[in-house]
Each structure stands twice: as C-alpha cells, then as structure tokens.
Structure 1
Amino acid sequence: MKVLILGSGVIGVTSAWYLAKSGHDVTVVDRQSTVANETSFANAGQISPGYSAPWAAPGIPIKAMKWLIQELAPLKINFKDLDTETMLWMTKMVANCNTSDYHINKSRMMRVAEYSRDCLRDIRREINIEYDHRTQGTLQVFRTDSQVQSAKKDIQVLTECGVDHTVLSADDCLGYEPALKHTINKIVGGLHLPNDETGDCHQFVTELSKDCERMGVKFMMDTNIQKLNKQGGEIVSVSTDKGELTADSYLMALGSYSTHMLANVGIKVPVYPIKGYSLTLPIEDFSAAPESTVMDETYKVAITRLGDRIRVGGTAEISSYNMALLEKRRKNIEFSIADLFPHAADLAKAEFWTGLRPMTPDGTPILGKTNIDNLFLNTGHGTLGWTMSLGSAKFVSDVMNDKQPEIDDAGLSVDRYAK
C-alpha cells in the first residue's frame, strides 16, 4: 500500500517508521527543510505518562481568571488574537472542566502514554538510537500545602491506572534531585514518577528518520501542502506547490494545522494551537543541575536535563496561530530554573524558542479512522506529543493495517466529538 503522511514532526516520522516496518511504501511531506523543525524542535523533553493529564480540570476556570492578572502564570491569553474559532474552543474546554470528564480524559491520555513509553523501549531494543535520553523519572515539586492536597485527586487516578508513584516529603525530594539542596526551603513536598523518561525529541526524530530512509521512506521536504482533494468517499490527491501527490491511504499528522486542512473535506476536529515557550541552556555547574525532569507545579514549568544542557519548557498562551517570540513570556519559565536551580546555568546563554501545541479541548489526541475511507488521523496531542508519539503511531499503524490495536480504542477517534 502506498501511504502519504502529511507532517514530519515526531508524530509523522514515528508513524512512517511503523508503516514502513509493516511493508508499506511511505512518503512524508512537509513544508520545512528538515524533520521535527516546528513543534517537535525544542519541547520540554519529557516522556511523562505519569504526568499525562488534561488542562481541562475542575477548578481551572477560576484559576485561569487569577492567572490572567499574575505576572508569572502558566496561562496567558492574547486578547488581540481572540476570534470565533478561539472562543468556541475555549467554550468546549471549559465544558470538560468537571470531575467526571477529567477522570475519563485523564485515563484515556494515560492509556496512550503508558503504551507509548513501552513502544519507545521496544524501539531502543530494536535499533541503536541516541537522543540524550535518561530513565530516572519525573519529580513534581509542590511549593504549598494546598498543592499537596490538590494532588491527591491525581494520585487516586494514578493508583486506579496502576502507575508507579511515590509521595515525598521535601527532604525525600533530595534523594532524587540532590541539587535542590540549595532551594529546599521553597518546597513542601513532591511526587515521584519513576517510569517517566526524558530525551531530546528533535534529535530522536532526526535519527529515526535516517532509519526510515533505510527502510525506503521518502521525505519530500520544502513542500507546501495546500489542500486535500476528495472525490466520492475517498481522498484522491493532495495539492502541493510541487504538484499533485497521490496514494492509496493518507495520514494527517499536521498538528495544529490539521484543523483547517480537514475542514476542507468536511471533517471537524477541535484541534487548536496552544503556544508554548522553552529555553535551552548549557550546564555551567553539573552538581547544581537537575538529574532528570523537575516539574514546578506552581508555574507548570518543566526543567529537564538533556545531556550537557537543560531544557525549560512551559506557559500556555492562547493567541491563535501567532508565532511571535515574546520576550515578556520568557520571564515565567526563566523564573523557575533561576529559583530552583540558581547555580546550574547562565541564563544569558539561553536559546529562546516558541512552538504551537495542537490541543484538543479534552486533552486526548485524535487517532485512527475517519468517515473518509482512506483518510486517517494522528493529531491533537497538545503538550504530550513526545510522550504519546510512539504509542499513537503504533496504534494508527495497526488501524491502517486492519489489525486489532494493542490498547483499547474507546474514545480515541474523532467520533467522540460527533455529539
């Protein structure tokens, strides 16, 4: 079968690997000159099944109102960029901010994320791939007693889903992240997730694409995808600035740009771009740097060790497709590393980056079949594209191969939005 994959981020390339491995003739198309050059380029570096949770949670609307008037806050809204599409998406997200939907959505996300981590381990056993990875878990740190109390709901879900975790005192946190000794007075407790991992997503995708090419995958880079062309109940071609491309099956993996492309063929997906920011810093003092990922719960900022670098990622900005790199957003993520690991790196040497996370209102990605026979979806992973990538790709590959997926498919397709 000839398969055309639209998008060469971590979702597109991992999908290409599984589809090529199962014997298909695969071509990946992207407007960038190299793979993983947009959202996958400088994400937070976490592979965190245990931290997989929807942004839509009980109490978030009230918290969001408070965050809007705080200088350092995990959520920002650029009111100049608000449009009808944005308002509709926000309305759908708020509708998911209740206990019942939160538990359903979190369990779906963890189902994909746990599977994905296992798929990643399988790939490491199968091929030699280096991406500054570590397997020392995630440490979520709490600065207030109220955060410790709020975390009990998430811990209950972790327990129900059989996810290993350990609740920690402030002093216990030092056993996992010794460099916190300099700032331990700012922490009241923590939660350690031992099965989480870290790694450079861009490096991983770059290396995996080389293995894809060895299996015959073709990469059409510097190619602008213009539209899908539908005839009857099938996609018959994809229009690009390099001409018409045809295949037997088509896989949509364009992240935030999936929404408008799919709307042209009558498929509505509530995937919206949530802007995120990151800093990448060279380590100056290794004894003062984190060992793995530290999640600062107060500011929703992840501080991740990537070899001799630190990646700091955070902030959710609602600003449609605005890609402006705003210096004022730098303060939020800069504060976390300066406050928790003040001697680890020189902030003056940081590389500042922004990207668009393709977020669904319920947090769960959209995977598998559509009502168009030869069009499949692998999109909407939000902040967890790196975490869910391998599992999503394997799941979609199985669906495209008419095989029974290895995890429950309930609630993962676009059909869940039919109501």
Structure 2
Amino acid sequence: MKVVVLGSGIVGVSTAWFLARDGHEVTVIDRACGPARETSFANGGQISVSQSEPWAQPDVPWKVLKWLFREDAPLLYRPMFDPAQWAFCLRFLNECRPSRAEANMRQILALGRFSRATFDLIRAETGLAFDHRERGIVSIFLSQQELDAAAHAAAVMAEFGVDKKVVSRDEMVAIEPALAGYSANVVGATYCESDQSGDVHRFTCGLAGLAEAAGVEFRFSTRVNALLAEGGDIAGVSVTGPDGAFATVTADAYVLALGSHSPLVARTAGLSLPIYPAKGYSATLPVIDAGAAPTASLTDESYKIVMSRLGERLRIAGTAELAGYSSTLNPVRCRLLVERARTIFPGACDWDAAQFWTGLRPATPGNVPLIGRTRYPRLWLNTGHGTLGWTEGPGSGRALAELIAGRDPGIAFHFQGC
C-alpha cells in the first residue's frame, strides 16, 4: 500500500519507519528543509513516562488566573480574538475535572509505557547515537502541597508499573550529587529510575536516514496546502514543491502528523481538531564543569522547567504560552530558564553562551493525543502529543502502523480520529 505521511518530526518519522517495516511504500512530506526542524528540534530531552500528569488539573484554572499578568508564569495565557483559542480553553476547563484528569493520565501512561518499550526496541535494533542517558528523572518540589499531590499521582502510576517514588532530600542528593548545594530549598522529590533522556533532533534525523535507506521517500521544502476531499474520502494532497510548482500527491492512505499545524490542514477537509499551539522555550548551554552539572534529568515542578544533560551540553526547557502561532522569543521567559538553572547548578555552565529556541507544541485539552482513523477512510491522525512528543512519538508511530495494518496494538489507549 502507498502511504503519505505529512510531517517529519519524531511522530511522523517514527510512523514512516514502522510503515516501511510493514512493507508499505512510504512518502514523507514536510515544509522544512529536513527532519525534526520544528517542535522536535530542541525540546527538553526527557523520555518521561513519569511525567504523564496532564496540564489540565483541578487546581490549574486558579493558578492560571494568578499567573495571568506574569510574563514569567509557567503557563502564560494571552487572550486573543481567536475562536480556536477560546474553544480550546473551554475544553481545557472541562478536562480539569478530577475524574477527567485521572482518566487522561491513565491513557497517557499506557501510551507512554508502550512508547518507551518501542523506543528501546528501535535503539537496540539500530544502535543510533543521540546523547542518550538512562539516569532517570528527579522531580524537585518547593512546597509540601505540591509534593503531596505528586505522591498521589505516583501511587496511580504504580498501578501501571511505573516506578516513580517519593524520596527525601538526602536520597535525592545521593541520586544526583549536583543538587547538594540547592537541597536546602527543596521540600522533597520524586524519582523515576526507568525514565531516560536524549537529543530528539539527533535521534529523529538518524531514524530518518535509516528509513530513507530502507526505501522511504522524503520530500522536504514542500508545503502542504490542503487535503482534497472528494466522494466521502481523501483523493489527494495539494502541495507546493521547492520550485514553487503546485502538485497533487495521491496515495492509498494519508497520515496527518503535522503537530500544531495539523488543525489548519485538517480544516481544509472540514475536520475540526481540538489542538492548539502551546509555545515552549529552551536554552542550550555548554557545560564547563562536569561535576557541577546533573547527569540525571531534572524537573523543577514549581517552575515547570526541565533540565537534561546532552553530552557536553545542558538543555533547559519549559513553560507554555497560549498565544497563537507566534514563534517570537520572549526575552523574559528566556532569562527565566537560564536564571533558574544557574540558581540550582551555579558552576555548571557558561551562562553567557545560551542558545535560545522556541517551538509550538500541539496541545489537546486533556493532553491525550489523537491517534486513529478519521471519518475519511483513507485519512489517519497521529498528532496532538503536546509536551510528550519525544516520549510518545516512537510508540505512536508503531501503534498507528498496527492500526493501518488492521492489527490491535495491544495497549489500553482509546484510539480515535475525528
């Protein structure tokens, strides 16, 4: 079967990889000049099943109100005259109900565990190098209330076999000695030994190279204009090539994996996807003192910032900004990342050499991605992974390939389209 995958981030490339392994003729189309050039370019680096708690929690609406006029807020909401933004926010509020938050976390956990196993499978088969570490994730808490909530979430995760546990400050320092100088500020921490970290851009580019060698065709610098709906199905995809010429690409099946731009393309076929861009930031700095820099990945839960060691670099990433499709760097939020990391690991990096980046995460109201067939028989979705694209991407690609082949992926996840 001929399959066209729209998007070459971690989700799209993983999907193409598993489709090609199933014997399909696969073409990947992306407007960028190469794989993983947008949201999969410089994220926080965490492969983090233990971070499966959705942003939509019962206490979050009050926090958002408190943060409303703070440029450095972990979640910054900029009200706009944008119906999509308001619709997303209303759905987000609905997902903040306790019953919905826990149900969403269970789905995210199931997909995350499946994806981590898939990731390990790819790594074992390919031997890809991408600054990979298996030192787990330490999450630090500055208030007892936050730590108590994390303990409850860890208990739910234990039902799914996720080894996240509450640890004392002394245990935290034993796990990550670089936190010793900051430990007095911490109430407690959680630790998940089975979580990992690595450079998503390097991994995705490496996997794309292997996929191309296996017969996958990549068409870069090619803009996706529209899905061409005809007779109750998708008859093709309108694209503009590198030379500016319009063309129609046809296939037996189409996979929409364009991240935050998925709803814009879906709209051309009359589909409404509950996805809105949540802009995230990152800073990458050279490590100048290896002993002062962390080797485990770190999550600062109070500031919603993550830090991962990528070889001789430290990647700091986080915050979310609901401000449409703007990719403008906010200097206040950039400084927050560097200043927070310097507070915790003061001698670790050259703090004046930060390289800043921003990307649009494709957020759904409950953080559960859209994976499955749409009302158009030939059109499939693999999008909406929010902050967990690196964690969920390999498994999502494998699961969708199974669905396209008519097989059950075998995980407790509600596969759905639109």
**TM-score band, normalised by shorter chain:** over 0.9
1:283-307 Cα distance to aligned partner (Å, 9 max, x none): 0110000112110011000011111
> Equivalent residue for 1:9?
9
User: Which stretch shows the higher mean deviation, 376-385 or 162-171?
Assistant: 162-171
> Equivalent residue for 1:167?
166
User: After the TM superposition, which residues 302-381 of structure 1 pair with which residues of structure 2 at under 5 Å, given as runs?
Assistant: 302-381=306-385
Work out the CA distance in 2 between the residues paired with 1:69 and 1:181.
34
AA at the equivalent of 2:170:
D
1:142-177 Cα distance to aligned partner (Å, 9 max, x none): 112222122232122112222112211111101111
8 A Cα contact 1:82 1:319, kept in partner: no
Work out the CA distance in 2 between the residues paired with 1:222 and 1:336.
37
Residue from 382, 388, 402 that aligns with 2:386: 382
1:77-120 Cα distance to aligned partner (Å, 9 max, x none): 233x4411101101100111111001100000011011100001
1:248-277 Cα distance to aligned partner (Å, 9 max, x none): 110000011110211221222101100000
User: Which stretch shows the higher mean deviation, 62-71 or 118-127?
Assistant: 62-71
| Structure 2 SS opposite 1:333 | helix
> Equivalent residue for 1:203?
202
| Structure 2 SS opposite 1:348 | coil
| Structure 2 SS opposite 1:349 | coil
| Structure 1 SS opposite 2:138 | strand
Work out the CA distance in 2 between the residues paired with 1:71 and 1:171.
34
User: After the TM superposition, which residues 17-416 of structure 1 pair with which residues of structure 2 at under 5 Å, given as runs?
Assistant: 17-70=17-70, 72-79=72-79, 81-242=80-241, 243-410=247-414, 412-414=415-417
CA deviation after TM superposition for structure 1 residue 332, in Å: 2.4
8 A Cα contact 2:107 2:412, kept in partner: no
Change (3 A) 1:211 1:161: same
Work out the CA distance in 1 between the residues paired with 2:72 and 2:361.
20
User: Which stretch shows the higher mean deviation, 177-186 or 388-397?
Assistant: 177-186
Gaps of 5+ in 1: none
TM-score (norm 1): 0.96
| Structure 2 SS opposite 1:15 | helix
AA at the equivalent of 1:387:
T
Work out the CA distance in 1 between the residues paired with 2:185 and 2:288.
23
CA deviation after TM superposition for structure 1 residue 372, in Å: 0.5
| Structure 2 SS opposite 1:347 | coil
Work out the CA distance in 2 between the residues paired with 1:366 and 1:175.
39
8 A Cα contact 1:299 1:332, kept in partner: no
8 A Cα contact 2:140 2:186, kept in partner: yes
8 A Cα contact 2:306 2:316, kept in partner: yes
1:114-134 Cα distance to aligned partner (Å, 9 max, x none): 110000101111112010011
Work out the CA distance in 2 between the residues paired with 1:95 and 1:165.
27
CA deviation after TM superposition for structure 1 residue 72, in Å: 3.5
AA at the equivalent of 2:184:
N
CA deviation after TM superposition for structure 1 residue 334, in Å: 1.9
8 A Cα contact 1:281 1:346, kept in partner: yes
Work out the CA distance in 1 between the residues paired with 2:78 and 2:262.
22
CA deviation after TM superposition for structure 1 residue 353, in Å: 0.3
Work out the CA distance in 2 between the residues paired with 1:54 and 1:181.
30
AA at the equivalent of 1:60:
V
Residue identity over aligned pairs, in percent, reads 40
CA deviation after TM superposition for structure 1 residue 66, in Å: 1.4
Gaps of 5+ in 2: 242-246
AA at the equivalent of 1:391:
G
Work out the CA distance in 1 between the residues paired with 2:393 and 2:359.
17
How many residue pairs match? The answer is 413
Cα RMSD (Å): 1.2
Work out the CA distance in 2 between the residues paired with 1:116 and 1:323.
29
1:160-202 Cα distance to aligned partner (Å, 9 max, x none): 2221122111111011110111111111110001111100000
TM-score (norm 2): 0.97
1:35-93 Cα distance to aligned partner (Å, 9 max, x none): 100000000000001111211011100111112244542011233x4411101101100
User: Which stretch shows the higher mean deviation, 159-168 or 269-278?
Assistant: 159-168
